[in-house]
């Protein structure tokens, strides 16, 4: 006779988004613009919630977008797209990141005209 043993792991202190990847910023359009222009950041997991198959593409909560070290003002935020205003932070090349639920995406290259 063979015995079968099952091992279960219990995650104490897990949060609902533990199984959701960090925000994934895949592109920014256009890749250069002057301060005040609105640009689109496309990607995935901006809402940081588990997929149930019946998701509303909008989020109840948003995060932050930074152009270099300067915070920007999002005008719309969904799980796959963020519309954001280019902040007044001088001109030149910067890295753009998205942070949602304390998790930060990889950066995108952007030029402030």
% of residues, the chain, pLDDT over 90: 67
With cut-offs at 50, 70 and 90, classify the pLDDT of residue 91. Answer: very high
Q: What is the pLDDT of residue 2?
A: 53
- Taking every pair of Cα atoms in the chain, the longest distance, rounded to a whole number of angstroms, is 75
Which of the pair, 7 or 64, is modelled with greater confidence?
Answer: 64
> Looking at residue 28, what is its pLDDT?
98
CB 62 within 8 A of CB 49: no
Lowest mean pLDDT among 9-13, 18-22, 43-47, 92-96: 9-13
pLDDT of residue 11: 41
Domains of the chain in sequence order: 36-112 (2.60.40.10)
Please give the angle made by the CA atoms of 41, 95 and 77, to the nearest 5 degrees: 25
pLDDT over 60 at 68, yes or no? yes
The continuous run of DSSP H or E covering 97 comes out as strand 92-100
CB 112 within 8 A of CB 90: yes
Q: What is the pLDDT of residue 90?
A: 87
Ramachandran class of 14: left when φ > 0, alpha when ψ lies in -120 to 50, beta otherwise: beta
Which stretches of the chain are DSSP H helices?
A: none
**pLDDT value for 17:** 47
């Amino acid at each position: 006779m063979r015995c079968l043993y099952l091992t279960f792991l219990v995650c104490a202190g897990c949060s609902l988004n533990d199984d959701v990847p960090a925000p994934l910023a895949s592109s920014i359009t256009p890749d250069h613009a002057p301060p005040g222009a609105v640009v689109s950041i496309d990607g995935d997991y901006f809402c940081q919630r588990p997929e149930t198959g019946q998701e509303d593409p909008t989020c109840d909560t948003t995060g932050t977008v930074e152009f270099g070290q300067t915070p920007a003002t999002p005008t719309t935020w969904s799980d796959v797209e963020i519309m954001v205003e280019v902040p007044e932070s001088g001109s030149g090349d910067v890295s753009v990141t998205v942070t949602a639920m304390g998790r930060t995406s990889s950066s995108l290259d952007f030029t402030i005209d």
